[in-house]
Copies of this chain bind each other. A is one copy, B any other.
Amino acid sequence: MRNLKMSIQYDGSKYKGWQKQKSDALTIQDKIESVLSKMTGEDIQVIGCGRTDAGVHAENYVANFHTDCQFKIETMMDYLYQFLPEDIVVKSMKDTSERFHARYNVKSKTYVYRINNNKFRNVFNRKYVYHTDEKLDLNEMRNATEVLIGTHDFQSFTSLKPNTKSTVRTINHIKITEDNGIIEIEVNGNGFLLNMVRIITGTLLEVGKGELKPKDVERILGEKKRSEAGPIAQAKGLTLKDVQY
C-alpha cells in the first residue's frame, strides 16, 4: 500500500478549520478526502498534521494518506487541482515510507500571525491580515516573548478547559518583524494547544499597546488561568507556515 505525503495551501476563510466534524460543517479535510475518494474509488482517510481553527489559513499544511491506487503522482495532483475548490491547492505530493504519520511525526510547527498596522486596511490582503491602527511598541512585544520561549505550562494561553490534558508545550522561537507597516509574529514550537497562537498574539498586542508589561506576561504564564491572558486575536490573521519532521 502506498503512503502519500502532501503539502497543502488553503485560504481558511470559509472553512470550519482543517478537521472533519460530526456536523455538516465545511472543513478542508472533508474536501480533500472527498476528491481523493472519488479519484481512487476507495474510502480515503487523510491524516493531517493537526487541527487548525476555523478561519485560519495554511501555506504548507502537511497530511498523508494510504491508498492502493497506482496513478502517477502527477496524475493525482492534476486531478486534485481540477476538482478541489479554488481556495485549496495541493502543492506537492510524494511517496513516503509506510511508517510516516503526518501528526505523530511532527517535530515542530511554524505559525505566522500577520498584522497590518498602517492607518487603513489594505483591500488586497484584508482576508489574511488583521488590521489595527493602534500604535504598537514592537520592542516591548519582543521583550514579552522572552518569558514564553522554552518549555512551560501554557494553560493561560489556551481555550482548553483545565485538567483535560497536559498543557505543557515547548516554544522554540518567537520572531517579530515589521516591513512597511505589516508586522509578522512567527511562532515555532513542538505543538500548540487550542487557540494558543491567537491568545499569545492577543496578549502580545496588549503589551504592544502598553496595557500589559512584559513582566505581566511572566505573571500570566505562572497563573495558569486563561482569564489572565489577553483576548484571542482574530483567526483571519493566522497562517500555518510550515511543519518540520
Q: Which residues does A use to contact B, with CB under 8 Å?
A: 9-11, 57, 81, 86-89, 91, 120-126, 128
Instruction: For A11, give its contact among B81, B91, B124 (CB under 8 Å).
Output: B124
For the complex, give the distance between the alpha carbons of A86 and B129 in Å.
13
Q: CB-CB < 8 A to A88: which residues of B? A: 123
User: Which residue of chain B has the shortest Cβ distance to A123 in the bound complex?
Assistant: B11
**B9–A89 contact, CB under 8 A?**
no
Q: CB-CB < 8 A to A123: which residues of B? A: 9-11, 57, 86-89
Q: CB-CB < 8 A to A128: which residues of B? A: 124
From residue A7, how far is it (CB to closest CB) to chain B in Å?
Answer: 11
**B86–A126 contact, CB under 8 A?**
yes
Q: CB-CB < 8 A to A120: which residues of B? A: 81, 89, 91
Apart from A11-B124, A89-B121, A124-B125, what 16 extra A-B contacts exist at CB < 8 Å? A9-B122, A9-B123, A9-B124, A10-B123, A11-B123, A11-B126, A57-B123, A86-B121, A86-B126, A87-B126, A88-B123, A89-B120, A89-B122, A89-B123, A91-B120, A124-B128
Q: CB-CB < 8 A to A91: which residues of B? A: 120
For the complex, give the distance between the alpha carbons of A128 and B91 in Å.
19
Q: CB-CB < 8 A to A87: which residues of B? A: 123, 126
Q: CB-CB < 8 A to A124: which residues of B? A: 9, 11, 57, 125, 128
From residue A35, how far is it (CB to closest CB) to chain B in Å?
Answer: 15
For the complex, give the distance between the alpha carbons of A81 and B120 in Å.
8
